[in-house]
Structure 1
Amino acid sequence: MASINAPLSVNEITEQASNFEYNGHIKLRHWLRSADTMQKEAQVYEAEGNDPQTYLLLYRHAQLVLNFLDKHPEKHLPENKKALKAAKDAVLRDLEKLEVIRPRIAKRHEEYQERRKAQLKALEALEGRHDASTLPRELDGLSLQRSRAKRRSYEKATLDAGENRSLAARLAQREVRRRDAARRSVRQAGVSEEEEHERRVGGVWGDWEKELRRESNEVDDDLSSQIQEVARMQNGHQETPNFSRPTSFQSPSSYQYPTVPHKSAQERWSSSDGKPAALGTSPALPPKESYRTPSDAAPRPPALPPKPPKPSVPAPLFENPRAPPIPGKYIDVAPAAPPLPEKYTETSSTNPSNSEFDEFNFKPNAYLENGDALRTLFLPPDLRENFLKVASRNTARNLETCGILCGMLKSNALFITRLLIPEQTSTSDTCETVNEQEYFDYVDKEDLMVLGWIHTHPSQTCFMSSRDLHTHSGYQVMMPEAVAIVCAPSKSPSWGVFRLTDPPGKQAILNCRQPGIFHPHAVDDIYIEALSPGHVVMLPNAPLDVVDLRPKNTR
């Protein structure tokens, strides 16, 4: 990942982007899915204003597609032609974005170099030094006195994922509800609400519409207060535990965090006492009175406001003295708030606050064996229970069941928010997905990312078989954080969360040419547990939906 605090040059970022492993023996369809995932990641980082990481991903995507996938042995297969063409078309659009982002990265690096030179020169003058190599690393261009107005998104505060799980859960809930609302507004033709509701067979946020109305204001306040508290503690030089070697991703304890207002966006427009907080002390009632009494009789405006309700609406039809003057409209909405303010509250409390609550990134808590950082992967605790319920029929018949772990990228962390059960065929030792295009289309339509997979061992212990290792290599080849969850309900331990070591595990599997479904591997430590202190963190109250794409007669 591109550095967050020490600005890299364009050449340094492109060098990082070109440093990835390609294996032509992996099927082209898997590489195309990896390329699509890179595109989705780049879109998220671009929306968050992270120029270095956006540039890295777009450049890597272009390198992968043009230099490797376009020469893949399976490029001429009919099922790959359409997807490969779409990937190359995306590269053309990416090149335009790269040209726009490149000057910003170059300017930022130049400013960093100038600032660093000025700091070193000032310190040499103050301390009488002439050997700059002995100066502390804390002066690596981190201008702690920069104003908040100049702070960019890639210079956000970095929070520890394990210590801020409550905040992470609320952010995930908020983002899932936002996406649900957006998806409903642009629902594709042919997918009815009944069908979507039927597919959502599990999850704590099934009644998300009700929750969206109920928490539209309180989520803003809770998130704001939590972020304020975290910023206060860290500004007070309370350091978080260091789980790994020092890197450029970790910010110093004296980082000046931006201030987040306590009030929600709606409260800023209309406070509880009736005064619009954002506009000073201008009262709301005089404009209404002048609007209701357009006559020129200025000396008697106070006597006119109580008169309109009497002739316009009979008293038995309503009890609220501030109801709209048209009886028909009032009767339709009498049990609830008027429709226009409700819509305004929902949109105004969602969009502006996104920028207010995105003033931080989750820092990496774990690293690959080669030293590369792993982003935190948040795992809902109830995912395993929901999956075992779905798999119970197969488990009773000693058949494996598999599911796909889908989710999203937010604030430099990955959130598993959807458990997808694809159509599949099973034996006691294997599980194969069928009609993969259906679940690929579903993932694309829902704007999800594939973050790993889960499967059962109905009668075996909890371990990664050679078949499992080869399957997982396709997930982890371009998504280092991807995990494989194994559930062995009849054994102890009954489950585990794993990833391939890198190196040597991933390289050994990708280069393995042994025949047969099950075979041994000579490499030790080929896979490792990924739960904390690894990069996977359990996230209580995390949003989770379970979607079963299997035909009903096979569930």
Structure 2
Amino acid sequence: MSSTDLNMGRGPMSAKELTDRAKQFDWNPRIGFKYWARAAETIHHEGQIYLREGNFPQAYLVLFRYSTLVLEYLVMHPEAKEPESRKAIKPLQKRIPQVIAILETLRPAIDNIHDQWRKTTAAPRGTPRKQDLAKHPTNDSPLSWNYASSANILDVQDHQDLAVDLAKKEIQRRRRAAGALEEGKHRLSGARQAPPPYMDDDELRRQMEATRRQLDRADGRATAFDDEEYSRPSTYYYPSISKSSSLDYERPTPQERPDGPRPQPPRPPKERHVDRRPSGPPPRPDKDLYLERDSPMLPPPRPGKEQLPSSAFADYSSLREQAPALPPKAPAEPAKQERVSFRPAATLENSEPLRPVFLPSGLRQKFLAIAADNTRKGLEMCGMLCGTTVNNALFISHLVIPEQKCTSDTCDTENESGMLEYCITNDLIVIGWIHTHPTQTCFMSSRDLHTQAGYQVMMPESIAIVCAPHSEPSWGIFRLTNPPGLPHILACQRTETFHPHAVDNLYVEAGQPPGHVYESRTLPFEVCDLRPGH
């Protein structure tokens, strides 16, 4: 998104506008299939985060982009029919029905919010609706118009320790939630049940229901603005698969389907005796049954009534707080703190903002220790920088060493499906890569530039760390410029391993200052070596 968009003071975008924006990415079949598969996993992960945070417009955009990439482009890639590619695309395709269901749920609310904003802008000057609109910051992004206004926006430069502390707490919270979900899965008897790939279904349902109730009230008060201009089509078309392409999709079994047979709850070990005489009222249960909080006979408490605000422009974030909560099954957690979001740390050459990336300061030395044997032999080696996003910032939390084939000048990853499976299982995205130059200086070769384009085409914040132990400087953090670097590399059709480019300034330093990467001594990280025998 350009800085022009960020400062034009636009209101919320419609689903159609979000759809058009989602389709705007640079597809290039010359980029390897594995890079596109990683990109698909990355944007799906980001969609989950936006759903958890209540940023429904951004969630809609990235999930629609995911469905477009998987259904229309990956299946047409020149490498799509190779065994490794077919294996890697299966988990991506299996998510499609759930992604489409989420899009269908989000679309009406997004369109209604957009319509109400348009009606407000048409209202006479000085009306309460116009005043409500003025409360929103003029430099707010149209993708998060209702979301960002409720967040405390901070400069990451001045709050680095806070950003890392919040990220560590959030990552731990997600791990506990995943562990509780896995434990609950094991307690179930009968049907197989996979963990939901998105936010809790009940939570999403409550949020969207609250949105619909609020919009229904707003529509009742805005009849003066009702006209054909705001009518929406009754159907909506999502990406479809070309007839010439083949989709290797595993249809879920009846036990995996939401409408399939559900397992019956186990019978209690010992049933209570009931006197079934033909006359007289049935005996009342013992009082001690109602004293047990976890007793199945105890009816759940009814949630209190919530008063919805009178304004037709309640923020998505406020609506999620107004939605009635289900009765807790565990001790209630402390009240959530104020929402925090960090401003972009830098911009591309085309003024597109770059989210801050936090890199553990000890990761590079750990990687060099793992690569020491290869370095002594004069062989290159690479690793993947994986992590997650929290509060509009990216945090590298894992150094993953994939299976790879190493030479004196190159290192190519292998068994991409294993790498992808690890990221899916651990809820990680690939934020960049790190590799050695054991016999060369610290720079980005032509091959490195083409590799980096595969990372950066879908995530502009992606970075490349080059380590040259026998040179000075011995390491650097880089990204492609845009322009001219990324578009020039994407347009390059030369296939030699090393070749010159006619354009200068293809890449720049990405570390702070003045880049978007911050090193942190307090950010922990894990190492996973996927190579056989390690």
Q: Do the two structures share a fold, i.e. TM-score over 0.5? A: yes
Distance 1:114 1:375 in 2: 33
Q: 1:175 aligns with which of 141, 150, 170?
A: 170
Aligned to 1:418: 398
Aligned to 2:389: 409
Distance 2:68 2:110 in 1: 19
Output aligned runs, 1:229-268, within 5 Å: none
Aligned to 1:461: 441
Q: 2:452 aligns with which of 472, 476, 479?
A: 472
Report the CA distance between 1:404 and its aligned residue: 0.5
Aligned to 2:56: 51
Distance 1:407 1:368 in 2: 22
The answer to whether the Cα contact below 8 Å between 2:88 and 2:420 also exists between their aligned partners in 1 is no
Aligned to 2:125: 121
With normalisation by structure 2, the TM-score equals: 0.64
Distance 1:423 1:28 in 2: 17
Identity across the alignment (%): 45
The answer to whether the Cα contact below 8 Å between 1:377 and 1:414 also exists between their aligned partners in 2 is yes
Report the CA distance between 1:403 and its aligned residue: 0.8
Report the CA distance between 1:51 and its aligned residue: 0.8
Report the CA distance between 1:454 and its aligned residue: 0.4
Aligned to 1:357: 337
Aligned to 2:498: 518
Change (3 A) 1:19 1:426: same
The answer to whether the Cα contact below 8 Å between 1:51 and 1:154 also exists between their aligned partners in 2 is no
1:74 matched to 2:55? The reply is no
The answer to whether the Cα contact below 8 Å between 1:116 and 1:141 also exists between their aligned partners in 2 is no
Letter in structure 2 aligned against 1:30: Y
Letter in structure 2 aligned against 1:359: R
Q: 1:506 aligns with which of 486, 492, 500?
A: 486
**Which structure shows the bigger proportion of residues in helix conformation?**
1
The answer to whether the Cα contact below 8 Å between 1:161 and 1:363 also exists between their aligned partners in 2 is yes
Aligned to 2:517: 536
**SS of the counterpart of 2:26?**
coil
With normalisation by structure 1, the TM-score equals: 0.61
The answer to whether the Cα contact below 8 Å between 1:165 and 1:540 also exists between their aligned partners in 2 is no
Aligned to 1:162: 157
**SS of the counterpart of 1:420?**
strand
**Cα displacement string for residues 477-534 of structure 1 (whole angstroms, at most 9, x for unaligned residues):** 2111111011122322221111111222122222222232111111111111111222
Letter in structure 2 aligned against 1:29: K
Aligned to 1:550: 531
The answer to whether the Cα contact below 8 Å between 1:6 and 1:141 also exists between their aligned partners in 2 is no
Distance 2:171 2:85 in 1: 32
**Cα displacement string for residues 260-316 of structure 1 (whole angstroms, at most 9, x for unaligned residues):** xxxxxxxxxxxxxxxxxxxxxxxxxxxxxxx9xxxxxxxxxxxxxxxxxxxxxxxxx
Q: 1:366 aligns with which of 316, 321, 346?
A: 346
- Count, aligned residues: 373
Distance 1:82 1:491 in 2: 40
Aligned to 1:29: 34
Report the CA distance between 1:139 and its aligned residue: 10
Aligned to 1:279: none
Q: 1:60 aligns with which of 35, 60, 65?
A: 65
Gaps spanning 5+ residues in structure 1: where? Answer: 124-131, 133-137, 145-150, 189-290, 292-346
RMSD: 3.0
Letter in structure 2 aligned against 1:373: P
**Cα displacement string for residues 371-428 of structure 1 (whole angstroms, at most 9, x for unaligned residues):** 3222221112222122222222322333222110000011121110111122333233
The answer to whether the Cα contact below 8 Å between 2:152 and 2:338 also exists between their aligned partners in 1 is no
**Cα displacement string for residues 304-334 of structure 1 (whole angstroms, at most 9, x for unaligned residues):** xxxxxxxxxxxxxxxxxxxxxxxxxxxxxxx
**SS of the counterpart of 2:387?**
strand
Letter in structure 2 aligned against 1:26: I
Gaps spanning 5+ residues in structure 2: where? Answer: 138-144, 184-290, 292-329
The answer to whether the Cα contact below 8 Å between 1:169 and 1:543 also exists between their aligned partners in 2 is no
Of the two, which has the highest radius of gyration? 1
The answer to whether the Cα contact below 8 Å between 2:437 and 2:467 also exists between their aligned partners in 1 is yes
Letter in structure 1 aligned against 2:170: E
Distance 1:375 1:439 in 2: 25
